[in-house]
Structure 1
Amino acid sequence: MNEWTPIAKKYDPLKAGSIDGTDEEPHDRAVLRAMLSRYVPNKGVTGDPHLTLFVSRLSPQTTEEKLKEVFSRYGDIKRIRLVRDFITGFSKGYAFIEYKQENAIMKAHRDANKLVIDQREVFVDFELERNLKGWIPRRFGGGFGGKKESGQLRFGGRDRPFRKPINLPIFPHQFNSESRGEKRHRSRSRDRSHDWRGQRRDYGRDRDRGIRRPEKERPYTKDDKEQNAEHTKRERSREQAKNDKDKEKKDSKRERSRERDYRKHRSDEHNR
């Protein structure tokens, strides 16, 4: 960890795809594509790479004259190359500026970054294609920086330097005050906590979808047995009371029917 630096000294696509440079496997296809690519710097590029400045995020309206006007305040400029589309001739939004003196490029690198030119905040860095060993450009899945929306962030450059990894100390077993039972209990508690959170999250998702989740069964306890016995007793008492009431109604109805038949019989005998 003593060799850790926020700015990469050598370009590694796998490390550039990690926020702290500790990834061991590529997390997206672009990183894998950069790892498998064999990029050779353009031999047709002239000029001293150690005196060349890279300027990006330029406005499409920015011209070489505007760049010379802005960057000449830091020192004498030898050459400006605004990269344009080969077919349309429109600016691609980045340029290379070569200075004559080293102190001029150092001053421009320090002061010109995030400078606003034609209502655009520009990004300034040293040329990396010929200076950084193992460099892979962004079109091959490499590069530095990037936006979150693109899903292709690259770390280790000036725009997005590496974050220092967090090292958690590992203590030997004999120096650990916790016993194995306490560790196991804490681990189970943590697992149950995660399970509970996951169930709560799933329940909320199903509730939003209108899905009714079945209630989780719990073990049968002594209190449940007593409650069930009391409930059964109340149900039986209620059923017995209902049966007695129905029987009383039937007896009363039968008695009224007998009395009605008796009166009818007496009436018939009297009429004779």
Structure 2
Amino acid sequence: MSAPAFTVEGVAYEAGLPDLRRVRETVFVQEQGVPLSLEWDELDPLCHHVVARDAHGEAIGTGRLTPKHTIGRMAVLPDWRGRGVGDAMLRALLVQATELGWREVSLHAQASAIEFYARHGFLPFGERFEEAGIDHQSMRLLPGAVNPVETREAAIAAVLGVIAGSRRQLHVYSRELDPGLFDAPEIVAALRRRAVAGGEVRVLLQDPAEPQRALAPLIGLAQRLPSAFAFRAIEEPTDRSYPSAFVVNDLGGYYFRPLGHRFDGETRLDGSGRARQLRASFDPVWERARACTEYRALGL
């Protein structure tokens, strides 16, 4: 394997200031129009900073942990976006937060970056707000712990995290494809990306007729990618009495709802024990369920 095209390291504020300025002022001040007076604050000297560097040692990304247990100033130079730099920096910051013993980490995500943070387990809370003229959303994560899900927005973020954290398999146990959740455009798009990348999605439904009547977009996606999606209908009375719903992946990520008609529940992206339990409860029901042949596209 070739060496990574970039590295991420922690830097002291004074020593790293030239690199921090190069990235942050390029992205926030020049590109996004944030006033220079707002970009640098009294917290900067007190923060834990990380810098991403290319193979030549040039700074290409920055991020920081503040004394308020928040992550901020996440920035990547334009030419390096979409290449995993932001993911690597965020992982490095979360490792630092865990080493510091922080039980909660929060951040103010630009609206366009909500899905990015959701992929790492952050859940939105509160209303959208404007900061430095840009639409933002508060998000938080309890590292290494179960995270409560209380709203539809948090439920969408939880599902996005489980999808992104899968290696190959996703198991979905649902009453009727959960209107408001599995028809959310960002979830449909994430499932499409996973399927195109070789993922396998198994969906167990208690009521397969209702999603069909509602023209659920996930059915149409499955018809276009039949090798990646499989739907089965639960018919055994004892199986149909199960009140809960969940989505679980093959790398320890899950989102579980005690009552399948509600969004509130819990999620964790590194909960291997609980994820194994959910997969173990899914598999025998899957074997007993019937294939949803009514979902197949004509001619298949």
Do both proteins adopt the same fold according to a TM-score greater than 0.5, normalized to the shorter chain? no
Q: Structure 2 length normalisation: TM-score?
A: 0.19
Q: Structure 1 length normalisation: TM-score?
A: 0.21
Considering fraction of residues, name the structure with more strand. Answer: 2
Higher normalized contact order (CA 8 Å, seq sep 6+, divided by chain length): 1
Considering fraction of residues, name the structure with more helix. Answer: 1
Q: Which has the larger radius of gyration?
A: 1
